Amino acid sequence: MDGTHAAGERDESGLSAARVKPEIAAEASVWIARLHGPDRSRQMESECLAWQARSAAHRLAFERCTEVWESVPGVRLADAYATASSRGLLTNAARPRPSRLALVLTLCGAIVGGGLWGVHLWRDAGLYATAVGEQRLVVLDDGTRMSLNTDTRARVKFGASQRSVTVEDGEALFEVAKDPNRPFIVRVAGSEVVAVGTVFSVRLEEKALHAADQLAITLIEGQVTVRPAPGNGVDDIAPARPLPMQAGQRMRLGKGAGMPSEPATEQVDRPSIEQLVAWKRSEVIFDDVSLAEAAAEMNRYNRTPIVLVGSSSLAQLRVSGLYRTGDSAGFARAVAALHGLVARELDGRLELLPPP
């Protein structure tokens, strides 16, 4: 199958009008890598054709990624894939840096996605970050998809025996590519989440309203183990022992004030997964939560904070509904109308207060 014309005859009018979203660009770059690897098959080609047939945007993303892949100077397709697939045989010293495969796929994302992704080209030791109100999808060079929510920092380091990501702050969702020879380990706040091929999210919020919500790990598919990281410090948030998780579970870890040397408390529940990952659609869903909790969540996505003024009873008002991330003004107006409050903008913040 010829990469550039795999989808059949080019529809100039349809492709020129297509808008390629970052998610589609990421998927296209993964298809390019797979098709030029040693596991290419007729079934894979058929699946790729079916993927391209979904829309003009899918076809355009595939064509642009193919053009990028073939035009980057000094990159041979077979060598690029071999570099990635032979990681288990290379030492850190022997591995090219940056990986040519990672470079090409990142360029695909930058060009096809129209600059919507943060393109780091593996600078700054694999650091990826988002600003307040920003979301970002990164396809790592093993095919793992890492989605970063607002105000998040994650550092990626792949070695011969394991793949690791350190989440320094914020929230990230991982769709892990299977590699039985190299487990995928996410380190966050002194805890480690160990997986092979699965889907899970981590959220670190050290200033959470409730101590138990300082670190949350949600398993969407597969199985993971949460364990304390080696060399933990007294301020780390980690369980006392390795704990397995099942799909649909959320583990919340936290420490109360004055308990720095104690292991974190553990709470396991089964929340609505749709609500927890609504941020990937730039949405926030509330289901009978306190106004204090809702305002704190909305404040994660906007530098103009929502502040509750006046009676302490305001914090206990209940909120439900679907809101757009970053639309703090719309949220404030809706809550004010619902509960008979006053919403006003004053001194760089949005205030909610009782009526005069």
Residue 231 has pLDDT above 90, yes or no: no
pLDDT at res. 330: 95
Q: Quote the pLDDT of residue 301.
A: 95
Q: Who wins on pLDDT, 268 or 76?
A: 268
> Does residue 197 surpass a pLDDT of 80?
yes
**91 pLDDT tier (thresholds 50, 70, 90):** very low
Residues in Cβ contact with 205 at an 8 Å cutoff, skipping those fewer than 6 apart: 213, 214, 215, 216
pLDDT tens, 249-277? 999 998 876 565 677 888 999 999 999 99
Q: What percent of the chain has pLDDT over 70?
A: 73
pLDDT given for residue 18 in this prediction:
57
Name the more confident of 35 and 309: 309
Output the pLDDT for position 255.
82
Position 296 pLDDT exceeds 90: yes
What angle, rounded to 10 degrees, do the helices at 22-35 and 42-52 form? 160
What is the bridge-based pairing of β-strands 215-221 and 199-204? antiparallel
The predicted model gives 15-28 an average pLDDT of 66
Q: Is 19 exposed, middle or buried (0-12, 13-18, 19+ CB in 10 A)?
A: exposed
Please check the confidence at residue 196 and state whether its pLDDT lies above 70: yes
Question: Are the C-beta atoms of residues 7 and 31 closer than 8 Å to each other?
Answer: no
Q: Please tell me the predicted confidence (pLDDT) of residue 332.
A: 96
pLDDT at 105: 57
Helical residues (DSSP H) of the chain, grouped into ranges = 12-17, 22-35, 42-52, 56-71, 77-85, 100-112, 273-276, 291-299, 328-339
Whether residue 87 is predicted with pLDDT greater than 50 in this model: the reply is: no
Report the chain's mean pLDDT, rounded to a whole number: 79
pLDDT for res 54: 85
Q: Across the strands, what pairs with 167?
A: 154
CATH numbers and ranges of domains, the chain: 1-115 (no CATH), 123-271 (2.60.120.1440), 282-353 (3.55.50.30)
